[in-house]
Chains A and B, each alone.
Chain A
Amino acid sequence: MSVSPEAFGPRTPFGRVPRPRFGVADLPLAMAYVYVAVIAGAVFILEPALLDGSGAMGANFSLVVPLALVAFGQTLAMLTRGIDLSVGGVISLSSALLATHLNARGWLLLPELLAIVALGVLIGCLNGLMIAFTPIQPFIVTLATWSIWDGVAFGVLPIEGGTVSPTLVKAASGGFLRVPKSVWVVVLLLLLWRWLRATRFIGDLVAIGSDESRARLLGVRIGRRKLQAYAATGLLAALASIWVTAQTQAGSPDGGDQFILNSVAAVVIGGTSIFGGKGSAASSIMGSIAFLLIPILVFALNLSSFWSIFLEGLVLIVAVTFNSIIQTRARR
């Protein structure tokens, strides 16, 4: 006994009804903008002075810069289904070096800054080599290297302090063409992503995170791409450290540690999938802004600053739970 084909409904050439372009799975990437709008709105209502005026903006964006840099790099790692916890070590070590040995003045500072960036790239490459060519998971590799480089940082600069090059401090402050330099940096990062996202580099990273074994069949150079991704993360972390050290005018042997949670939170709030294959550094930058609004909100609510630490952890947990549920369902 058989049933005629017509009983099964209309057949498009490929037998399936087209689905809408924007589904639940795309929600996380849009949420960052919602978060920023909501939190900024709340802050503005409670204490407009915190966000109003160029002084406030400059100060706020100054904090966004390092986090945006690290979150950018963290996005690349997460696209491949990885994570980089060693950014904490990179930032601490770079900061320690900038406050001790690499604090020349004037033009002599330039090669030293390049050395810092090269160090970040080198550390990233070491991570990338281990992640790409051994079966050890990224979180273990970078957990270990975080400890190692934090340790070296402690050896270089046991206590917070040191002297930072005044040239550096001056270079990272103030404005350019009447716009705060910090805003320029963030805009540049956004443009960089716009340019990058159509490259084969990002395309390969997405392929690797989406389905690594199939990406291998396609001929993607998995080792090379992972190496590049983690090298980029190291580079961006080093840049973040240069900025932070210039702002605080002091070195810190464990100042990088906070950036680990912060960058992961920024990326998660931004909507990049922690399981790889989907994401955007621009959203992570928005996520950084949203994340940094939390302490401002706390201040506006007249709560003690300790509430920031609590809320930051809470926001990460809520955001990642929300995203995990959606993204696990989408991957099925």
Chain B
Amino acid sequence: MSDRSLVISGLRKSFGGVEALRGADLACHAGETHALIGENGAGKSTLVKVLSGAVRADGGEISLNGKTLRVDSPMQARAAGIATVFQELSLIPDLTVASNLFYGIEPKVRAGRVDRRALRRAAALALEGLGIGGIDVARNVRELSLGERQILEVCKALIREPSLLILDEPTSALLPEEVQWLFGKVREFAEAGGIALFISHRLEEIEILSDRVTVLRGGVDVGSGPIAEMAEARLVELMLGRPVERVFPAAAAGPGSDEVVCEITNLASPPRLRGVTMAIHRGEIVGVGGLQGQGQLALFLSLFGVIRSTGRVAVRGREVRLRHPRAALDAGIALVPEDRATEGLCMTLSVRDNISLGSLSDISTAGLVSQTKERSAIALAASKLRIIMQNLRQEVGALSGGNQQKVILGRVLAQHPALLLMYDATRGVDVGTKAEIYRLMREQCEAGTAILFYSTDVQELVNLADRVFVLHDGQIRAHLEGEEITESRIVAESVGGGVRKQVR
């Protein structure tokens, strides 16, 4: 058995003032699938970025197959035999499937020119060889669904016949048969002598696919071993850094209110959302689940007036025309967006400006902002949410991630919405802030606000929601209440009502 391995020691990387990796060690060998798990912010994606050449490490050593490795660029990574399946995908939307598949390694290049026909033929052949049929290689990637893109991204990595295959959350939009296909391919790859590094936060997938697992926490590895010897509870304990405890607040006591605060009838926004009907009651938390890319985003954006939709939405009995977020806000619907940095905050503006942005008309007279009204409105929000900052004039970009999320909440709650929409609001947020957000959610509910939230974390759906709707292909596939809300049930409904086949 040759010395085919990936050994990382003491890897360090900081972004600005934040230390993402603090001397992490990792060792994986040829023939094994090694899983890397950890909470959001533990350093997993940074490690992937370093290995794939997207960022340069500040310190530490990487050796691949016995040789010290320097990966200063994606090209160097590729040359070293590292192929990465990126979580955010590395596909160019305006190029074809064939062009993307063979980008940089086109089959026939003469005088710098790519033979397009040969490219298409090679692409069709390659996909067939990998067991993928029925895809038109001349189509632009922009036209593919998220699941199709994820599969293409995997194929792209596999055909480069790497020595190290890194997979970063590759299954979020895949159907069970597609996941089986992926696992089969990864196993084939490992058995042929490759090193596979698999990053996922889905413990059930880790258990099925991987041989060994390493846990990251706070930028360092905190535990490693064969998967067979690591029980789930132990893994979670290592990820969180303490024995599993109740992170979620107690469920609401007593039955929910009967008063319907938001009635949605046949809400559709082609092509992703194809018709959804639901009623949300005062003070209840409704969860939306399902595989990624099944219309959940379209649902939330439609309800908030960001995209055009058909159908009927009524808030507090009155029908509303959701043509613009302003209309939604005025009707009592508020949204906490998915991505803090790009959608939620104006990073270079102050905390004060961000919080009051949504309620400017309330705090202004004759077009001018009233300093007194603003001060009182914001002070309330800041203290209630316990936002940690130097002062209100501080740039919001200087705050920690968790506090930034609170600023968003401060802005959103200032309008006292009847229905609060939260789209993956706890993604990339540390455990402490997550707990606070859960507490806030319960508080809001007790005060009478209804919450509709989407999460990729099934645990959140199980522990927070009074009811859960599972979306598939733009429609509601399942509606779970009370006792029906279990992890296995949600997962089962997300993937098609069948039982997940155990391959091992």
> Are A and B close enough to touch in the complex, i.e. CB under 8 Å?
yes
Binding site for B on A (CB under 8 A): 1-5, 8, 12-16, 18-19, 21, 195, 198-201, 203, 206-207, 209-211, 214-219, 221, 277-278, 330
A195 B113 Cβ-Cβ under 8 A: yes
Of B242-250, B442-450, B472-480, the stretch lying at the interface with chain A is B472-480
A199 B93 Cβ-Cβ under 8 A: no
Beyond the given A201-B112, A206-B92, A214-B91, could you list 20 further A-B residue pairs with CB under 8 A, ordered by the A residue number?
A2-B477, A2-B478, A2-B493, A2-B497, A3-B477, A13-B132, A14-B134, A21-B138, A198-B113, A198-B115, A200-B106, A200-B113, A206-B95, A210-B93, A214-B89, A214-B92, A217-B74, A217-B86, A219-B73, A277-B93
Interface centre among B52, B78, B95, B151 (most CB of A within 10 A): B95
Q: State how many angstroms separate the Cβ of B454 from the closest Cβ of chain A.
A: 19
B147 A207 Cβ-Cβ under 8 A: no
> What residues of A have a CB within 8 angstroms of the CB of B139 in the complex?
18-19
- How far is it, in angstroms, between the C-alpha of A8 and the C-alpha of B295 when the chains are bound? 14
Q: Count CB-based A-B contacts (< 8 Å).
A: 105
Q: State how many angstroms separate the Cβ of B341 from the closest Cβ of chain A.
A: 13
B90 within 8 A of A: yes
Known pairs A200-B114, A219-B75; A214 contacts B90 (CB<8 A): yes
B114 A198 Cβ-Cβ under 8 A: yes
> What residues of B have a CB within 8 angstroms of the CB of A278 in the complex?
94
A15 B92 Cβ-Cβ under 8 A: no
- How far is it, in angstroms, between the C-alpha of A221 and the C-alpha of B103 when the chains are bound? 13
Contact mask for chain B residues 64-77; partner A; CB cutoff 8 A; 1 contact, 0 none = 00000000011101
B95 A5 Cβ-Cβ under 8 A: no
B116 within 8 A of A: yes
- How far is it, in angstroms, between the C-alpha of A309 and the C-alpha of B91 when the chains are bound? 43
B74 A218 Cβ-Cβ under 8 A: yes
- How far is it, in angstroms, between the C-alpha of A198 and the C-alpha of B115 when the chains are bound? 7
B279 within 8 A of A: no
- How far is it, in angstroms, between the C-alpha of A200 and the C-alpha of B95 when the chains are bound? 12
A14 B145 Cβ-Cβ under 8 A: yes
B145 A216 Cβ-Cβ under 8 A: no
A218 B136 Cβ-Cβ under 8 A: no
- How far is it, in angstroms, between the C-alpha of A116 and the C-alpha of B382 when the chains are bound? 63
- How far is it, in angstroms, between the C-alpha of A13 and the C-alpha of B91 when the chains are bound? 20
| Docked complex: B466-504 residues within 8 A CB-CB of A | 470, 472-473, 475, 477-479, 493, 496-497
- How far is it, in angstroms, between the C-alpha of A215 and the C-alpha of B175 when the chains are bound? 28
B99 within 8 A of A: yes
6 A-B pairs (CB sep. < 8 Å): A1-B479, A3-B475, A19-B139, A207-B95, A214-B89, A219-B77
- How far is it, in angstroms, between the C-alpha of A216 and the C-alpha of B75 when the chains are bound? 10
Known pairs A218-B104, A219-B73; A19 contacts B143 (CB<8 A): yes
A210 B94 Cβ-Cβ under 8 A: yes
B255 within 8 A of A: no
A5 B496 Cβ-Cβ under 8 A: yes
A218 B135 Cβ-Cβ under 8 A: no
**Chain B residue at smallest Cβ distance from A4:** B497
Contact mask for chain B residues 155-187; partner A; CB cutoff 8 A; 1 contact, 0 none = 000000000000000000001000000000000
Contact of A14 among B93, B99, B113, B148 (CB under 8 A): B148
- How far is it, in angstroms, between the C-alpha of A221 and the C-alpha of B72 when the chains are bound? 13
B90 A218 Cβ-Cβ under 8 A: yes
- How far is it, in angstroms, between the C-alpha of A166 and the C-alpha of B139 when the chains are bound? 53
B109 within 8 A of A: yes
| Docked complex: B110-151 residues within 8 A CB-CB of A | 112-116, 132-136, 138-139, 142-145, 147-148, 151
- How far is it, in angstroms, between the C-alpha of A323 and the C-alpha of B147 when the chains are bound? 30
**Chain A residue at smallest Cβ distance from B132:** A13
**Chain A residue at smallest Cβ distance from B497:** A2
**Chain A residue at smallest Cβ distance from B152:** A14
Q: Which 7 A-B pairs have the closest CB atoms?
A: A13-B134, A219-B74, A210-B94, A277-B94, A217-B90, A219-B75, A2-B478
**Chain B residue at smallest Cβ distance from A17:** B271
- How far is it, in angstroms, between the C-alpha of A179 and the C-alpha of B386 when the chains are bound? 79
- How far is it, in angstroms, between the C-alpha of A8 and the C-alpha of B77 when the chains are bound? 42
B114 A8 Cβ-Cβ under 8 A: no
Contact of B103 among A16, A18, A198, A218 (CB under 8 A): A218
Interface centre among B106, B144, B477, B478 (most CB of A within 10 A): B477
**Chain A residue at smallest Cβ distance from B74:** A219
Q: State how many angstroms separate the Cβ of A66 from the closest Cβ of chain B.
A: 27
Contact of A18 among B99, B112, B136, B473 (CB under 8 A): B136
**Chain B residue at smallest Cβ distance from A198:** B113
> What residues of B have a CB within 8 angstroms of the CB of A199 in the complex?
112-114
Interface centre among A5, A13, A199, A215 (most CB of B within 10 A): A5
Contact of A200 among B77, B112, B496, B497 (CB under 8 A): B112
- How far is it, in angstroms, between the C-alpha of A112 and the C-alpha of B144 when the chains are bound? 53
B145 A1 Cβ-Cβ under 8 A: no
**Chain B residue at smallest Cβ distance from A217:** B90
B222 within 8 A of A: no
> What residues of B have a CB within 8 angstroms of the CB of A216 in the complex?
54, 74
> What residues of A have a CB within 8 angstroms of the CB of B477 in the complex?
2-3
> What residues of B have a CB within 8 angstroms of the CB of A4 in the complex?
497
A217 B93 Cβ-Cβ under 8 A: no
> What residues of A have a CB within 8 angstroms of the CB of B479 in the complex?
1
Interface centre among A21, A198, A201 (most CB of B within 10 A): A198
- How far is it, in angstroms, between the C-alpha of A304 and the C-alpha of B214 when the chains are bound? 78
B135 A219 Cβ-Cβ under 8 A: no
A219 B114 Cβ-Cβ under 8 A: no
Q: State how many angstroms separate the Cβ of A186 from the closest Cβ of chain B.
A: 22
- How far is it, in angstroms, between the C-alpha of A209 and the C-alpha of B92 when the chains are bound? 9
A8 B75 Cβ-Cβ under 8 A: no
**Chain B residue at smallest Cβ distance from A19:** B143
- How far is it, in angstroms, between the C-alpha of A277 and the C-alpha of B86 when the chains are bound? 21
> What residues of A have a CB within 8 angstroms of the CB of B473 in the complex?
8, 15
- How far is it, in angstroms, between the C-alpha of A218 and the C-alpha of B472 when the chains are bound? 31
**Chain B residue at smallest Cβ distance from A201:** B112
**Chain A residue at smallest Cβ distance from B472:** A8
- How far is it, in angstroms, between the C-alpha of A211 and the C-alpha of B93 when the chains are bound? 7
- How far is it, in angstroms, between the C-alpha of A221 and the C-alpha of B138 when the chains are bound? 25
B145 A15 Cβ-Cβ under 8 A: yes
> What residues of B have a CB within 8 angstroms of the CB of A14 in the complex?
134-135, 144-145, 147-148, 151
- How far is it, in angstroms, between the C-alpha of A18 and the C-alpha of B75 when the chains are bound? 34
**Chain B residue at smallest Cβ distance from A330:** B142
> What residues of A have a CB within 8 angstroms of the CB of B116 in the complex?
198
- How far is it, in angstroms, between the C-alpha of A1 and the C-alpha of B489 when the chains are bound? 11
> What residues of A have a CB within 8 angstroms of the CB of B94 in the complex?
206, 209-211, 277-278
Q: State how many angstroms separate the Cβ of B380 from the closest Cβ of chain A.
A: 38
Known pairs A1-B478, A199-B114, A210-B92; A12 contacts B134 (CB<8 A): yes
Q: State how many angstroms separate the Cβ of A196 from the closest Cβ of chain B.
A: 8
Q: State how many angstroms separate the Cβ of A209 from the closest Cβ of chain B.
A: 8
> What residues of A have a CB within 8 angstroms of the CB of B84 in the complex?
217
B148 A207 Cβ-Cβ under 8 A: no
> What residues of A have a CB within 8 angstroms of the CB of B75 in the complex?
219, 221
- How far is it, in angstroms, between the C-alpha of A15 and the C-alpha of B294 when the chains are bound? 12
Q: State how many angstroms separate the Cβ of B221 from the closest Cβ of chain A.
A: 25
